[in-house]
Amino acid sequence: MKIKCPKCNENAELAMDFSVVTCEHCDLDMSYGEYVKFVAHNEKKYSDILGDYTGSTEGQTAGSLDEWD
Ligand SMILES: [Zn+2]
């Protein structure tokens, strides 16, 4: 299925079995697990914002995302 490429924001392709993500526009080729990590890392700044927001209700920080570094 088509998903948004985390590198170039063009259409990337997620395999039907969720095993691999490929993008013909920027030669992206990674496992879905790597893709999830990549997206999570790229959107860390948004996660931090959300972390601040949800932190007031759940008492959690976004610190756990630091492990992606
Ligand atoms: Zn791409």
How would you list the strands of the sheet with 28-31, edge to edge? Answer: 2-4, 11-14, 20-23, 28-31
Q: Contact 47/62 with Cβ under 8 angstroms?
A: yes
pLDDT along the chain (69 residues), means of 10: 92 96 96 91 68 56 58
Å from CA of 59 to ligand 1 middle: 36
Q: Which residues share a beta bridge with 48?
A: none
Q: What is the DSSP letter of 30?
A: E
Å from CA of 20 to ligand 1 middle: 13
pTM flag (> 0.75): no
Q: What is the pLDDT at residue 62? A: 53
Element (H, E) at 53: helix 44-58
Å from CA of 64 to ligand 1 middle: 27
Å from CA of 58 to ligand 1 middle: 35
- Whole-number Å distance between alpha carbons of 13 and 5: 8
